[in-house]
Amino acid sequence: MSMSLSNLAPIPELYVSYESAQKLKVEAADLPSWDLTSRQICDLELLMNGGFNPLKGFLGEDDYNSVVDTMRLADGTLWPMPITLDVTEEFAAKLELGQDIALRDQEGVILATLSVTDRWTPNKAHEAEKVFGADDLAHPAVNYLHNVAGPVYLGGAITGIQQPVHYDFRGRRDTPNELRAYFRKLGWRRIVAFQTRNPLHRAHQELTFRAAREAQANLLIHPVVGMTKPGDVDHFTRVRCYEAVLDKYPQSTTSMSLLNLAMRMAGPREAVWHGLIRANHGCTHFIVGRDHAGPGKNSAGQDFYGPYDAQELFTQYQSEIGVEMVDFKHMVYVQEKAQYYPANEVPEGDTVLDISGTELRRRLAEGLEIPEWFSFPEVVTELRKTRPPRANQGFTVFFTGLSGSGKSTIANALMVKLMEMGGRPVTLLDGDVVRKHLSSELGFSKEHRDINIKRIGYVASEITKNGGIAICAPIAPYTSTRRAVREMIEAYGAFCEVHVATPLEECEKRDRKGLYRLAREGKIKEFTGISDPYEAPEQPELSVDTTGIDVDNCAHQVILKLEQMGLIAGN
Ligand code: PPS
């Protein structure tokens, strides 16, 4: 094979042969086993199929420290992202170094075994600072690190038994070696990859087409379907949109494949990582644009990374990555010419038309026109199906506040008002009712409260997904748990957090259930506000204080808020 085809030679995978896998599967059933999280399944798939080549497993401690601090494995190889297996303390404690464990998917199928060589407790704040640039929970991956990932990391080599099973778009998913073989078969030598987590519109089609032409390369549309930014359009909808757009490219020059990557939104480091992953998939060029894999604003309202940080870092490491960066041109529509131009090449005096992502979401939310110059009608139809106008979508109103603050009373009044309006089914998940029917075995420790709130969040997200209105009214004292619920729901519809901010003194004075007195006397332990924490929401959609205001008025304030959010039609 000639040198120029080295990008298309097979790369190492971590799978054993089919026969060995059958044997190993039986033997592995007796090993201690770890049920992988959704993110770990994505990581494992790319480890096993060579997408994360040269990694041979989840990082050990030395590699981890080196990757975090220097973007390199301990042997000096460029690798910007810690790929770690986070587990619970209980699970980690029962293992011995040197032993094998079975890694199972969410249905219990054994996908691989891991020879545990390393076990350590990472310094997560340090990891956040180094890898994501700030230990700020507004960054989705930092939030994941602190609030979702387990406290202990395990490292070691992987023995791959079988690929994770996918039931959707099977024909559109390719391993690095499958793509390499496909490019070889078609005689493609230069391939420019386009990474995306958003639906494609005309401007994207123009820019990718131009990028490929400039690089004199074939084009691979390579969207991420693993995990993207919370709140993104779901991948089912996106893939249907991509399929519609794919028809607009010349078939002989363009292809599409789905990548089951769990993104971290790490901007510059993520761009380098994406480049390495594309090199493994046989690509020679990679499109990097403004704010590549950007996580949005930090808690001070500023961007986490500079708009061109990703391009700069990528350029710096380009030769080691092994793929060439292609600049992403911001394309705008020029009305007089009825055609797209790069923003910096617009003929003088001509009118530029552009619709931002925010504006697009607004138009979808309000059911307004989306012009044909902006997107393909097939794409708009798909998006409208999944994102009907807000007034037809499901949503959740989530009350939080101290015991006796008035949550249940306002929630009941709100329910009746919404039922009077009609149009969508309304379900009330009141704290006491939930504890009776869904959580009767739970107490009030942090762990139990979190389980309780996540159950409420799960039910509310199902209701929201199916177009209903869920009203929740638990105490929900912890910020991170409320955030997890918000993320669960915002995947399907709007989330309106209402802080019932009646002060503790007032709640205690009312003491409707006599619980505050018992708490003061020490007869009820871990009582919120007395002997247990309540973390007040910092940015709720609405805050109401029931001191001196009647219930009807409070419920009406919520109705006004929902109207303002476009969730119910105004009178
Ligand atoms: S949590 O923290 O969100 O899981 O709590 P929640 O499910 O809303 O349950 C709160 C109701 O349980 C009663 N109760 C207590 N509350 C707080 N702390 C302690 N230790 C406790 N023990 C019992 C109390 O009546 C709460 O009801 P509300 O309607 O909030 O007054």
> Which among 442, 513, 515 is the best mutation to test ligand 1's pocket, defined by most ligand atoms within 8 Å of the CB?
515
Split at pLDDT 50, 70, 90, the class of 125 is: very high
Task: Determine which residue's CA is closest to atom 25 belonging to ligand 1.
Answer: 403
pLDDT of residue 508: 96
pLDDT of residue 419: 95
Task: Determine which residue's CA is closest to atom 12 belonging to ligand 1.
Answer: 432
Q: Give the distance (Å) from ligand 1 centre to CA of residue 550.
A: 23
3-class DSSP assignment, residue 57 = strand
Q: Is the pLDDT of residue 324 over 70?
A: yes
- Percentage above 90 pLDDT, the chain: 89
Task: Determine which residue's CA is closest to atom 27 belonging to ligand 1.
Answer: 403
One-letter amino acid for residue 317 of the chain = Y
Q: Is the pLDDT of residue 1 over 50?
A: no
CA distance 27 to 72: 35
Task: Determine which residue's CA is closest to atom 24 belonging to ligand 1.
Answer: 403
Q: Tell which CATH classification among 3.30.420.10, 1.10.1740.10, 3.40.50.1370, 3.10.400.10 matches the domain 5-160.
A: 3.10.400.10
Q: Give the distance (Å) from ligand 1 centre to CA of residue 332.
A: 54
Split at pLDDT 50, 70, 90, the class of 570 is: low
Q: Give the distance (Å) from ligand 1 centre to CA of residue 443.
A: 9
Q: Give the distance (Å) from ligand 1 centre to CA of residue 475.
A: 6
Report the side by side order of strands in the sheet with 331-334.
339-342, 331-334, 352-353
CA distance 459 to 365: 24
**Alpha-carbon dihedral 335, 358, 275, 268, rounded to 10 degrees:** 120
Q: Which residue has the higher pLDDT, 433 or 380?
A: 380
Task: Determine which residue's CA is closest to atom 8 belonging to ligand 1.
Answer: 474
Split at pLDDT 50, 70, 90, the class of 272 is: very high
Q: Give the distance (Å) from ligand 1 centre to CA of residue 446.
A: 12
Task: Determine which residue's CA is closest to atom 9 belonging to ligand 1.
Answer: 431
Which atom from ligand 1 is nearest to the alpha carbon of 404?
31
One-letter amino acid for residue 460 of the chain = A
Q: What is the mean pLDDT of residues 10-25?
A: 96
Q: Which CATH architecture has domain 170-332?
A: 3-Layer(aba) Sandwich (3.40)
- CATH 3.40.50.620 in the chain, residue ranges: 170-332
CA distance 196 to 258: 10
Q: Is the pLDDT of residue 202 over 60?
A: yes
Q: Is the pLDDT of residue 206 over 70?
A: yes
Split at pLDDT 50, 70, 90, the class of 5 is: low
Split at pLDDT 50, 70, 90, the class of 34 is: very high
Q: Give the distance (Å) from ligand 1 centre to CA of residue 402.
A: 8
CA distance 274 to 516: 55
The structure tokens 């032409």 sit at 213
> Which among 444, 481, 498, 499 is the best mutation to test ligand 1's pocket, defined by most ligand atoms within 8 Å of the CB?
444
Task: Determine which residue's CA is closest to atom 22 belonging to ligand 1.
Answer: 527
Name, in order, each residue with C-beta under 8 angstroms of 302's C-beta and a sequence gap of 6 or more.
Answer: none
pLDDT of residue 250: 86
3-class DSSP assignment, residue 297 = strand
Tokens of 380: 């708009």
Q: Is the pLDDT of residue 2 over 50?
A: no
Q: Do 207 and 331 contact (CB within 8 A), yes or no? A: yes
CA distance 395 to 385: 16
Single out the residue of 17, 13, 158 nearest to residue 100, CA to CA. Answer: 158
Split at pLDDT 50, 70, 90, the class of 185 is: very high
Q: Give the distance (Å) from ligand 1 centre to CA of residue 138.
A: 28
Handedness of CA 252, 254, 256, 257 (dihedral sign): positive
Split at pLDDT 50, 70, 90, the class of 252 is: confident
Task: Determine which residue's CA is closest to atom 5 belonging to ligand 1.
Answer: 475
551-555, Cβ contacts within 8 angstroms, sequence gap of 24 or more: 551/406, 551/409, 551/410, 551/413, 552/413, 554/406, 554/410, 554/413, 554/500, 555/410, 555/413, 555/414, 555/417
Mean residue pLDDT across the chain: 95
- Percentage above 70 pLDDT, the chain: 99
pLDDT of residue 368: 92
Q: Give the distance (Å) from ligand 1 centre to CA of residue 515.
A: 10
Angle at 569 between CA 564 and CA 571, to 5 degrees: 95
CA distance 92 to 153: 8
DSSP 97-154: TT-EEEEE-TTS-EEEEEEEEEEE---HHHHIIIIISS--TTSHHHHHHHHTS-SEEE
3-class DSSP assignment, residue 384 = helix
Q: What is the mean pLDDT of residues 177-204?
A: 96
Q: Which residues line ligand 1 (CB under 6 A)?
A: 403-404, 408, 431-432, 435, 444, 449, 452-453, 474-477, 513, 515, 524, 526-528, 532
Name, in order, each residue with C-beta under 8 angstroms of 165's C-beta and a sequence gap of 6 or more.
Answer: 105, 109
β-partners of residue 334 are: 339, 352
Q: Is the pLDDT of residue 431 over 90?
A: no
Task: Determine which residue's CA is closest to atom 21 belonging to ligand 1.
Answer: 527
pLDDT of residue 571: 45
Helical H segments across 304-401, by residue range: 309-321, 357-366, 377-386
Tokens of 376: 């393909």
CA distance 554 to 402: 16
Q: Which residue has the higher pLDDT, 59 or 330?
A: 59
Task: Determine which residue's CA is closest to atom 18 belonging to ligand 1.
Answer: 527
Angle at 251 between CA 282 and CA 289, to 5 degrees: 55
Q: Is the pLDDT of residue 4 over 70?
A: no
DSSP 505-570: HHHHHH-TTSHHHHHHTTSS-S-BTTTB-----SS-SEEE--TTS-HHHHHHHHHHHHHHTTSS--
Q: Do 483 and 147 contact (CB within 8 A), yes or no? A: yes
pLDDT of residue 230: 84
Q: Give the distance (Å) from ligand 1 centre to CA of residue 532.
A: 11
Q: Is the pLDDT of residue 196 over 80?
A: yes
pLDDT of residue 3: 39
386: number of Cβ within 10 Å: 17
Catalytic residues: 196-198
Taking only the tens place, the pLDDT of each residue in 127-139 is: 999 999 999 999 9
Q: Is the pLDDT of residue 6 over 80?
A: no
Which atom from ligand 1 is nearest to the alpha carbon of 402?
30
Split at pLDDT 50, 70, 90, the class of 496 is: very high
> Which among 430, 479, 528, 535 is the best mutation to test ligand 1's pocket, defined by most ligand atoms within 8 Å of the CB?
528
Taking only the tens place, the pLDDT of each residue in 551-565 is: 999 999 999 999 999
CATH 3.40.50.1820 fits 390-564, yes or no: no
Which atom from ligand 1 is nearest to the alpha carbon of 452?
4
> Which among 410, 432, 447 is the best mutation to test ligand 1's pocket, defined by most ligand atoms within 8 Å of the CB?
432
3-class DSSP assignment, residue 333 = strand
pLDDT of residue 366: 85
> Which among 472, 475, 498, 534 is the best mutation to test ligand 1's pocket, defined by most ligand atoms within 8 Å of the CB?
475
Q: Give the distance (Å) from ligand 1 centre to CA of residue 483.
A: 19
pLDDT of residue 13: 98
Which atom from ligand 1 is nearest to the alpha carbon of 519?
20
Q: What is the mean pLDDT of residues 337-347?
A: 93
- CATH 3.40.50.300 in the chain, residue ranges: 390-564
Taking only the tens place, the pLDDT of each residue in 509-534 is: 999 899 999 999 999 999 999 999 99
Q: What is the mean pLDDT of residues 408-431?
A: 94
Split at pLDDT 50, 70, 90, the class of 365 is: confident
